[in-house]
Chain A
């Protein structure tokens, strides 16, 4: 009985650093356990995990170090998860090519002639092209929101043979007949948008009530668009485990680095205040956009139907505010570099000469 309980306590005590008094803690835990207990209580387990991780920070005299460590760990884990989701998107099936897109649109709405169908240059594009070094300026300095998920689709132009409402009803009927799951339509002043999902593909169909959008420079009625349809890929399943693994890995690395820098800079370290200030700036630059963006994106997702959620980095206001993220990253690296500076040597106490 005691052996089982001891084994379970020992597992929890791995939260404490190796050099910590694990045996002493185990002895106290076993002495305090009532007879017949075979497993730690939830309260006990949570207490050991919390205090074990705090012990790993190695700053027993600081009451606030745990809060700072949590801030650094959580935000680093979140950003690492966002990067990992981008890697997970590499597993997505490529978007349909022009011929396949044309066939899919013909299957959806037979008889409508879709135009302007072009291959997508990449899964995510900025200003119509894949992300390249040349686009870094756009990405960093204000146009980061242009980096988005690509779509392939086409437009139907000319004078519609059906009234807009009839066209909308036809679209919804055909979506049902061709196996798409359609979401509630979104109506605005000039058009109605229907989104749908089938397997790993999402579809956005827009039926224009007012022909204010033109496909060509001639502004002729026959160039006016009354229907658009575009396919995108839904979030691939691999994104979720990637996010979980990346997030945990990022959080663990951040926790260890925070603990190391915190222990290095305690007491008489030459860059103690600079490290503290840089850490504070990093937290502001990383947390503030995140805390603003997450509720905004949550509201956006609640307001409009989404067959597939926006990528995780958009929930962190990235890469729109990537400049702040990069600046925060620079501060964090500088922080670590300063923490690595050697500490001043304590003056050696002269030893008395042997008499």
Chain B
């Protein structure tokens, strides 16, 4: 799973969000490092919807514009859980190696 996909799924975990809401949340999750462009976001949403990981939740009208909200599906939650476990395992392994390199540090 690529980083933008992982961040989009994470942004949608638990809370349905609309397009700009996802962009903001991805920025916050990555400490501002990942700035998701709109074209990239909607291509990812199309793909994740086609794969059944994300689905339309509801619409809201704000300032005359309709906001479409998306939510994570059960397979989406499972994919995010699996990817998080994989990344945790990799991070743990890397941290162990780094600790071995610097035995004095905790």
Chain A residues within 8 Å of B, Cβ to Cβ: 21, 23-25, 27-29, 31-32, 43-44, 47-48, 50-52, 54-55, 60-61, 63
| Docked-complex contact A51 and B39, CB < 8 angstroms | yes
Chain B interface extent, by class: 20 to 34
| Docked-complex contact A52 and B38, CB < 8 angstroms | no
Q: How far is the CA of A31 from the CA of B40 in the complex (A)?
A: 16
Q: How far is the CA of A23 from the CA of B38 in the complex (A)?
A: 12
- A345 CB to closest chain B CB (Å) equals 22
Query: Which residues on A sit within 8 Å (CB–CB) of B80?
Result: none
- Which of B18, B41, B42 has the most chain A CB atoms inside 10 A of its CB? B42
| Docked-complex contact B43 and A51, CB < 8 angstroms | yes
| Docked-complex contact A32 and B50, CB < 8 angstroms | no
Query: Which residues on A sit within 8 Å (CB–CB) of B65?
Result: 23, 27
- B38 CB to closest chain A CB (Å) equals 5
Q: How far is the CA of A43 from the CA of B40 in the complex (A)?
A: 11
Query: Which residues on A sit within 8 Å (CB–CB) of B37?
Result: 43-44, 47
- Which of B20, B39, B41, B43 has the most chain A CB atoms inside 10 A of its CB? B39
Chain B residues within 8 Å of A, Cβ to Cβ: 18-20, 23, 37-43, 46-47, 49-51, 65-68
| Docked-complex contact A24 and B19, CB < 8 angstroms | yes
Identify the closest chain B residue to A48 (Cβ). B39
Query: Which residues on B sit within 8 Å (CB–CB) of A32?
Result: 20, 23, 38
Q: Can you add 5 more A-B contacts, CB < 8 Å, to A47-B38, A52-B39?
A: A24-B68, A25-B42, A27-B19, A28-B23, A48-B39
- Complex partner residue of B38 from A25, A55, A60, A61, CB under 8 angstroms: A25
Interface SS of chain A: helix, strand, loop or mixed? helix
| Docked-complex contact A51 and B40, CB < 8 angstroms | yes
| Docked-complex contact B50 and A48, CB < 8 angstroms | no
- A123 CB to closest chain B CB (Å) equals 47
Q: What are 18 inter-chain pairs, A to B, with CB distance below 8 A? A: A23-B65, A24-B19, A24-B42, A27-B65, A27-B66, A28-B18, A28-B19, A28-B38, A31-B20, A43-B37, A44-B37, A44-B38, A48-B39, A51-B42, A51-B43, A55-B42, A60-B50, A61-B51
Identify the closest chain A residue to B41 (Cβ). A28
Q: Which 10 A-B pairs have the closest CB atoms?
A: A51-B39, A28-B19, A60-B46, A31-B20, A47-B39, A61-B50, A47-B37, A27-B65, A60-B47, A51-B43
Query: Which residues on A sit within 8 Å (CB–CB) of B38?
Result: 25, 28-29, 32, 44, 47-48
Identify the closest chain A residue to B50 (Cβ). A61
- Complex partner residue of B39 from A23, A27, A50, A61, CB under 8 angstroms: A50
Q: How far is the CA of A341 from the CA of B34 in the complex (A)?
A: 44
Identify the closest chain A residue to B48 (Cβ). A60
- Complex partner residue of B20 from A28, A47, A50, A52, CB under 8 angstroms: A28
Known: A28-B19, A29-B38. A55 touches B43 (CB 8 A): yes
| Docked-complex contact B40 and A47, CB < 8 angstroms | yes
